[in-house]
Structures are given as structure tokens and as C-alpha cells.
Amino acid sequence: MAVMYQAVYRRASSLFCRLHSTYVRKMRYLNELKEDDSFCRQAQTSGTFYLFHNLSPFLQEVGRKYLVPQLSATEMKRILEKFKETEQWIEKSVLIGCSDEHIPHFALDLGALEKSAIESELKGSFTDLRKALFVVDEKDFPLLASAQALLRWHDSHQYCSKTGQPTQKNVAGSKRVCHASGITYYPQMSPVVITLVSDGSRCLLARQPSFPLGMYTALSGFCDIGETVEETVRREVAEEVGLEVESFWYSASQHWPLPSSSLMIACHALVRAQQTEISMNSLELEAARWFDLEETVEALKRDHRSSKQEDGSFLPWFPPKQAIAHHLIREWVKEQASRTA
């Protein structure tokens, strides 16, 4: 009876999907993969796989570009056989999306296998995600970020926080279940507010000691429990640079996997032009300063390579296009330029 119901449901779902947009069909298909273990297991035999090694994605350098290869299920089977591993390894993969043609994409971490041997076999290298941020195409980074975050979450949630018993993931990797307590765990993101502060004619950017040399970015901080986004913006700006926000507005959001999975909520904030003296919190920041429009435009043209000077010092530069801080800075530049036009 259950088998008959599933077959009827699939036919009805298929008819429903044909009447809707490509996006709706994709979302319905992905949801079915997450909810139906058998269906997802079957999809693994025709899907593509992104490889990781201890959370570092596999890249291939072609000319001056770094590509993110997708391995077919057949190629994955060949690789596992070559390293004398069973196809059960595929069960460790997690679903990270699908194409418009409903070809599912999975991510698989091969950290237990020899890194150099895999790199040699596939003619590429496993690259730290922070470095990958600077070299991969803009369209590839979100998928890599989501994949790494999901793989990291599974690695750190293998036991139930209530019973201490092992948890088990579903085939898609969209949840883990403790059968001893009946608790279901879902991947989560921590909300972080990232704010570009302006006094009307300048923007305020800062850097931490851990940043690459010369890089400045917008202020950011985690939302405390019970805080609204508005309260977090005001508190973080006050804590980090000693300024009081007069008004702010939302810009956009972005998932960010480093150092752990976060939802970056990007905002612009305005402080009074008469109260702009920075009082930097040296426990959190190494430097904080105002940038005028001309400085900001010039810094946007640089990257971590071109900012280095002959004497070893670094001119200011900003996060790459893949980061939402870059989006905020470009928005501010566009708004300033429209004022002066």
C-alpha cells in the first residue's frame, strides 16, 4: 500500500511540477530528495559530486583559472575502487543542490584517504576555503561554502547533546536523528550583522589582526540572544568604534561558512557628521579609519597581490567580490557617485 501511495504521489508531483516554473520544480525536487531516503539514494547513482578533503575543496588549475570539477557517479565509483573503498562511501555524501535539469549535486569529504594520492589521480589540489575564496569564480563559491558548512556540521554533530548517543544522518544530509531520544537535529546558522558605517561623505572600515595584510572591511558581530538586528547594529558600532548610530537600513544577506556557518545580514548605518571621532576597541580591532570616496574607489581596484608595495607595506584593499562586504562598499560608492553627478 505504501509503495502504491508513493508511486501515485510521484506521478501527481510530476504533473504538478510540469505546470510550474523551473525554480518551483527544482525546489519541489530537492525537498523530495531530502524527505525520501530511497529516492535520494537512487539519485546518488546519477548525480555529480564535489570533493573535499578535511573540509578543503578540490580545485583544478586550468591556465590562470581555478575550476571546481564535478565528478560523475561513475567516476566516483572508479575512484573509490582504485583506493579499495566500497561504494558505501557515497552514503557519507550530502545533498547541496541540483541543476535546472534535476541532476543532483552532492558533496563528499575524503579526509580518511591519502590526500596526495587523490590529487595525483585527479590532477588537482585540495585548497583551503579561505584561499579558494580569492581564486574561484563568483558563481562557484556559494555552492562550495554551503557544502563545506554542511560537511562541518555533520562532523561536529555526531552525538546527541541530551543522551550522548550517536546520531544518524538521513541520506540527503538535511538532518540527524538520535533514535534513543527521538530528537531531530537540523543544520543551523548563527546570525551576524555586518554594517558599513557612513557619516554622509565617508565610510568607516576596519581590520582585525587576523586579516590578510592591508585588508579592511565593514564592522561585523554576532547577534546576542534576544537582540533584534537593529539592536545588534547599534551595539556593535558602539562597542567597536565608539560611535552612535543615528539611522540604518537593510541591504542584503549572505551565507558565510567561516569560521562557522553564519547568516550575514548586511546593513548601512549613518552616524552624525558632527560626532565622527573614532574610539577604537583595541581588543577587537587592529585599525579603524574613515575612507573618502576617492580612496574607496582606488582601494576597490586592488586585491591582495596588487596592494603590496616595494617596501613591503600594503595599501588598503577590500574583500573580494564573493563577500557581501564588497557588495556593501560598492553600494555606498554608487550612492555617493550619484550625489556628485
Q: Return d(Cα 36, Cα 237) in angstroms, integer.
A: 46
What pLDDT does residue 305 have?
78
Q: Tell whether the torsion through CA atoms of 314, 319, 322 and 327 is positive or negative.
A: negative
Segment 229-274, tens digit of pLDDT: 999 999 999 999 999 999 999 999 999 988 788 999 999 999 988 8
What band does 52 get if pLDDT is binned at 50, 70 and 90? very high
Q: Return d(Cα 159, Cα 298) in angstroms, integer.
A: 50
CA neighbor of 169 nearest in space, from 115, 108, 111: 108
What band does 14 get if pLDDT is binned at 50, 70 and 90? low
**Torsion, Cα of 263, 299, 276, 271 (10° steps):** -40
Per DSSP, 273 falls in state T
What pLDDT does residue 63 have?
82
Q: Return d(Cα 141, Cα 162) in angstroms, integer.
A: 35
Q: What is the pTM of this model?
A: 0.85
Segment 76-92, tens digit of pLDDT: 999 998 888 877 889 99
DSSP letters spanning 148-197: HHHHHHHHH-SB-TTT-PBPEE-TTSS-EEETTTTEEE----EEEEEEEE
φ, ψ for residue 85, nearest 5 deg = -115, 155
Residue 9, pLDDT above cutoff 70? no
Q: Return d(Cα 282, Cα 231) in angstroms, integer.
A: 22
11 burial class (0-12, 13-18, 19+ CB within 10 angstroms)? exposed
CA neighbor of 216 nearest in space, from 322, 134, 329, 335: 329
Q: Are 78 and 86 in contact (CB under 8 A)?
A: no
Q: Are 203 and 280 in contact (CB under 8 A)?
A: no
The residue assigned the cell 595584510 is 213
Mean pLDDT within 187-198: 96
Q: Tell whether the torsion through CA atoms of 296, 136, 156 and 167 is positive or negative.
A: positive
What pLDDT does residue 135 have?
85
Segment 281-336, tens digit of pLDDT: 999 999 999 999 999 999 999 887 778 888 888 899 999 888 999 999 999 999 99
Exposure string (b/e) for 153-169, b if CB count within 10 Å is 16 or more?
bbeebeebeeeeeebeb
The residue assigned the cell 608595495 is 309
Residue 62, pLDDT above cutoff 90? no
